[in-house]
Amino acid sequence: MNFEPAHFNLQELAGGVWAAIDRSGGAAHSNAGIVNLGGRTLVFDTFLTVTAGEDLRRAADTLTGHQAEWLVISHFHLDHIGGSQFFPFAQIISTVETRRLMQGELGSTLPGWKRNPSPVIEEIRSMESLAAGSPGTLLAAGALAQARFDRDLLETLPDLHLVLPDTTFTGRLALHGSTRSVDLIDLSPAHTSGDCILVLPGERIAFTGDIGFFGTTPFMVWGDPRGWLRALDALLDLPVDTFVPGHGPVGTREDVRLQHGYVQAIIDLVDCAKRDRLTLSQALALPLPEPYESWPDPWRGIMMEANLGKLLE
Amino acid sequence: MINKISPHVYWTPPNHDTDRPIMGAVCGKRGVLVIEGGNSEAHARQFLQGMAEARLAGPILGVAITHWHWDHVFGAGVFGAPIFASEATRRLVAWMAGLDWSDEALDRRVEEGLEIDFCRVNLKRELPDRTGLKITPPNVSFEGPATIDLGGVTVRLVPVGGDHASDSTVVFIPEDKILFTGDCLYPDLHHGPDRYTTARLFPLIDTILSFDAEIFFGSHQDKPISRADMVRDLALHKTIGRAAESTGFNRQAALSILEDEIARWGREDIEEIVAAFIAGEK
C-alpha cells in the first residue's frame, strides 16, 4: 500500500479479499469490503462520509490495481453509501427495494438536509446535552459517539451526492471474475426491507452489511426483528466461517449466534412490554438476559431508546 | 442496417442463412445495453457497425443473453462489456466453452444426439473455421429478475423458462413497452421432433402476456409483432394445446375439434403445433 487509510483499517481475509473496518475516531462509521475477482474489482458499501469514501476508492485502486467495476450497496442507510460518488465507472448494484428506499427516503430527506441541516445540528446539541447530564457513563459515551457521527454527517452533507444503483435484483445475483465468483443474496427484511449480503463461497467469507452488528447494539428502527432472525438463520446456514459485519469487528459463527440471541431478547422484551402495557421508560428499565445486559457498549442506551421507541409503536 | 422502433430501442433482423437471431440495443443517457451476443464475432461486429452508423452514443454497459444456445452467445465477448444472463444460462455457456468445436467433435455430438443437425449446418456455415473460437461465459448472473437502469430507460431481465430452453430469459423495456422473448416461445428442437408441453407453455404464455408490452420480438421472426397479434398467436397455441390434451393427445381427434382454426390459419401450421404437443407428451 502506498498510502495509509485514515478512516479504516484494512484486514486481508484471503488473497484479494479485504475487510475495511471502521477505525475509532475516523469518519467511516461503518465497515466496507474490497474484493479482487481477477481482473475485476468489487467494492461492498462506501461508509458515511465522502472523505472516507475517497480513501476507500484509493485503497481499492491500490490494492487490486484496477478501478472498481462493481459497487454493491448492502442497504440504503447513509452510513453505507456516502462515498459511492467516488466510483463513477462502477456498475452500482443493490436489491430492488434498496434502490426504491434510496429514491424515496433519501431522495426526499437528503436535499432538505443539504439546504437546511438544522435537524442534524439539533441532534448534535441534544446528544451533547445528554452527555453533559451524565458524565462518565456509558450513556454519555454513546451520546458523544452519536454526536460525532452527526458532526461527520454535517461536514459531509454539502459534498454528498446521492448516487442510485443502476442494477437491481431480487433473490440472488452472482458476479464472476477470472479467479473467483461472489454471490449477492437478498436476505430482507432484516435490518431494513432491502438488505443484501455478499458471499464468497470459495473463501467461506460473507460481508453481511447491517444484518451483522458484532459487539455493538443493532440499530433496529428500520428493521423487521422476526425477519432479522430468519436472516441470521440464513447466515448460519451458509458455508461461511468468517463474517464481516456492517458494524463491529470481523467475526465468526459464534458472533452471528450471539446477535441472533440479542434480536430474540429484544423481541421477547417488546412482547412482554406490549403485554403488560409498559411505557417506553418502563420498558427501557427491563433487564436484558446475559450476556447482553452486561455488554460494555456505549451505543446501548441511545440505540435501545430508539429501537424500543419504534418497536413499541 | 440497424432499425429504430421506439425512443430507446434499436434492432437488427435475423438472418436465416446462418441462423443469426435478432439483436437489439437499448439506449439510455448512461449508455447502451445490447440484447443477445450474436452467433459469431462477425455477427456481433456487424451489429456494432450498425450501432456506429446509427450514431448510437454512449458506452456499452452490458450484453443481455436470453439463453445458452450458440446462436445467441458466440459473439458476446466482442462487446467487451459485462455479460448478463440467468445463472442457469451462465452454467450452460461455461460448459459449452469447454467443448471441442472442431468438425469432428461437432459431427460426433450430432451422431450421439447431443447436438442437432440444424445447429451443425448453421454453425459450419457461419463459422467454417472455428480454430481459436472463444466463448465468453456471462459474468453477471441472476436467479430472480434483474433490472438495469440505463438512464431514462430501464431493462428488466426476467427468467421465464419454457420448452425451447429451460434457462430462457426475456428482456423487457417498460418505458417503451417492448418485450424481447428470445426463443422462449418456440418448441424444444433438441430432443427429436419439435415438442411443446402444456405444463411449460401455458404458464409461460400467461407470464409473457403479463408484461405491459405492446411490441414483441421473437429472436427468429423477421419483424416484431403487435400485442394484438401476440395475444392471438398465443391464444391459438393454448387452444391447440387444450384440444390435444382433451383428446388424450390423439392427432386425428385433436384436429377434428380444431376445424375452425384450420379453416382460418391453414392446416399445415395447426398440424405442426398439434404434432409438437403430442411429441411433448411422449
State pLDDT tens for residues B149-197. 999 999 999 999 999 999 999 999 999 999 999 999 999 998 889 999 9
Q: For residues B21 and A260, what is the distance between their CA atoms, to the nearest angstrom? A: 51
The pLDDT tens digits of the residues spanning A19-40 come to: 999 999 999 999 999 999 998 9
**Which of B242, B29, B60, B265 is CA-nearest to residue B150?**
B29
pLDDT at res. A296: 83
The pLDDT tens digits of the residues spanning A179-234 come to: 999 999 999 999 999 999 999 999 999 999 999 999 999 999 999 999 999 999 99
- Is residue A196 a contact partner of residue A210, using CB atoms and an 8 Å limit? no
CA distance A251 to chain B (A): 28
- Binning pLDDT at 50, 70 and 90, where does residue A301 land? confident
Percent of chain B with pLDDT over 70: 100
Collect all residues of chain A within an 8 Å Cβ-Cβ radius of residue B32.
none
Q: For residues B214 and B130, what is the distance between their CA atoms, to the nearest angstrom? A: 40
Between A225-237 and A253-275, two packed helices, what is the crossing angle to 10 degrees?
A: 160
- Binning pLDDT at 50, 70 and 90, where does residue A2 land? low
A 10 A CB-CB count for B106 gives 19
Q: Which residue of A has its CA nearest to B157?
A: A169
Q: For residues A199 and A187, what is the distance between their CA atoms, to the nearest angstrom? A: 12
CA-CA distances (angstroms) from residue A250 to A214, A216, A255, B88, B264? 8, 12, 9, 33, 69
For residue A257, give the DSSP letter: H
pLDDT at res. A178: 92
Q: Is A175's CB within 8 Å of B145's CB?
A: no
Average pLDDT, chain A: 95
Q: Is A173's CB within 8 Å of B139's CB?
A: no
Q: Which residue of B has its CA nearest to A37?
A: B139
Q: Which residue of B has its CA nearest to A88?
A: B30
Q: Is A175's CB within 8 Å of B139's CB?
A: yes
CA distance B256 to chain A (A): 46
Could you tell me which residues of chain A have a Cβ less than 8 Å from any Cβ in chain B?
Answer: 40, 69, 91, 96, 164-177, 186
CA distance A92 to chain B (A): 10
- Is residue A293 a contact partner of residue A287, using CB atoms and an 8 Å limit? yes
A-B CB pairs within 8 A amount to 57
CA distance B70 to chain A (A): 20
The pLDDT tens digits of the residues spanning B203-221 come to: 999 999 999 999 999 999 9
Collect all residues of chain A within an 8 Å Cβ-Cβ radius of residue B145.
169-171
Q: For residues B66 and B194, what is the distance between their CA atoms, to the nearest angstrom? A: 20
Percent of chain B with pLDDT over 90: 96
Rounded to two decimals, what is the model's pTM? 0.91
Collect all residues of chain B within an 8 Å Cβ-Cβ radius of residue A96.
147
- Binning pLDDT at 50, 70 and 90, where does residue A1 land? low
Task: Inform me whether the C-beta atom of residue B148 falls under 8 Å from chain A C-beta atoms.
Answer: yes
CA distance A166 to chain B (A): 5
**Nearest residue, CB atoms, B139 vs list A168, A176, A186:** A176
The pLDDT tens digits of the residues spanning A255-273 come to: 999 999 999 999 999 999 9
Q: Is B144's CB within 8 Å of A172's CB?
A: yes
pLDDT at res. A152: 96
**Nearest residue, CB atoms, A166 vs list B90, B143, B148:** B148
Per-residue pLDDT for B18 more than 90? yes
Backbone dihedral region for residue A209 (phi beyond 0: left; psi -120 to 50: alpha; all else: beta): left
**Nearest residue, CB atoms, A174 vs list B30, B141, B145:** B141
**Nearest residue, CB atoms, B146 vs list A40, A173, A177:** A173
Task: Inform me whether the C-beta atom of residue B147 falls under 8 Å from chain A C-beta atoms.
Answer: yes
